[in-house]
Amino acid sequence: MAASGLLSGGHYVAITVRLPSRPLLLALPAALTAAAILLVRRRSAIGKTLEAPVCQPCEPEAAASTSALPAAHSPASKRGGDPTPRKTLVAPCEIGLTKDATATTRRENYIDWHDYFMSVAMLSAFRSKDPSKQVGACIVDPKRQRIVGIGYNGFPWGCGDDQLPWARKGSSVLETKHPYVCHAEMNAIFNKNCSSLEGCRIYTTLFPCNECTKMIIQSRLSDVVYLSDEKHQEDSMVASRRMLGLAGIPYWAHKPAVPRVVIDFDSDLAR
């Protein structure tokens, strides 16, 4: 026989009692046995099963701020229209380290999750050898706010950075970088440190081309956050938006809370 219900103090319990086994019943603590009998009677009286309360986040404000998405995130709404939602920072034009020995509360100008992950994508772009365009991407599990893949644009593994052309234009396509470069989104997907990217979000410094969009869709990524859409009118990008729309994958432009995130290794604040 199983019983569940509300005890004093607002706690729900679920207890299983096998009545034919008298030794087992007697082995239960007296208080627990009494509670089980009470719950059985209560359930019989009301004629329905009581439901356990839903567990709430330990930090509801923080949970709401990290999971909030713009209207463009909804598959039923217009995609690509609204920027990343965020709290308004009190002050500054940049985010970086601070030091206040007299403070008794947390500092307010810390970097939020969206800016953090886009900053990781941007920092990854610093690794690119491409002289004309550096792009970075960062894939995140939004449920845990955990990075599961990063990448930047460059030549395939084993192809030396000085063995293939970096030019944007040449005497033929084969004398340009275009047939050889692996894009940042592709590398981030291949560099994943988990078995599946389903439900993950990708932050990229440039809106993905049609080839990267195919990989995004096939990897079951949930949404795309981009910083720049400078190639909006190109056929490749038009095709990307078309495929993302058909696949029901939302995308939106990231609008940083502040224009600059400072990394200064020589700063006294870093020591």
Active site residues: 185
Shortest CA distance to 267 belongs to which of 90, 96, 45, 17? 96
Shortest CA distance to 186 belongs to which of 227, 157, 145, 146? 157
**Ordered strands of the 136-141 beta sheet:** 146-152, 136-141, 201-206, 223-228, 251-253
Q: Are strands 94-95 and 146-152 parallel, antiparallel or unpaired?
A: unpaired
Both tokens of 254, joined, read 């990231």
Q: Say whether 251 sits in a helix, a strand or coil.
A: strand
Angle at 182 between CA 176 and CA 185, to 5 degrees: 135
